[in-house]
Amino acid sequence: MSHSNVVYKISCNDCEASYVGQTKRQLQTRIGEHRKDINKKTGSPSVISIHRIQSSHDFKWNEVEILDEESSYKKRLISEMVNIKKQSYPLNLQNDTLELPEDYLPILNLFPSH
């Protein structure tokens, strides 16, 4: 949880859904923000909060997976998009992957999803 410059995955504890994100900060800081978002009263809720509220599911907060470590912001964004596309049941919004060229999708399907 002390790693920074990572692409990470938070899995639902009650179904196959998952969320993939990236951060340059320490992972524990970003995960703390996700957890706090669930309890905030103003602003728009995150996709994690929406899933938790609508389905009464919780997340594997103590089992967050690091999918990639990359210090370059642009490379980290590409890794995030690739990893979102590799998820079976992603919670991420589709606009999170708009910058990923469609030409890559057949290649991504060669790899098993997480």
What are the tens digits of pLDDT across the range 6-58? 999 999 999 999 999 999 999 999 999 888 887 776 777 888 988 998 999 99
List for the chain the helix, strand, coil content (%; round to 5): 40, 20, 40
Question: Whole domain around residue 20: which residue ranges?
Answer: 4-110
| Spatial strand order in the sheet of 18-23 | 18-23, 6-11, 65-69
In this prediction the pTM is 0.80
- Phi, psi (deg, nearest 5) at residue 47: -65, -30
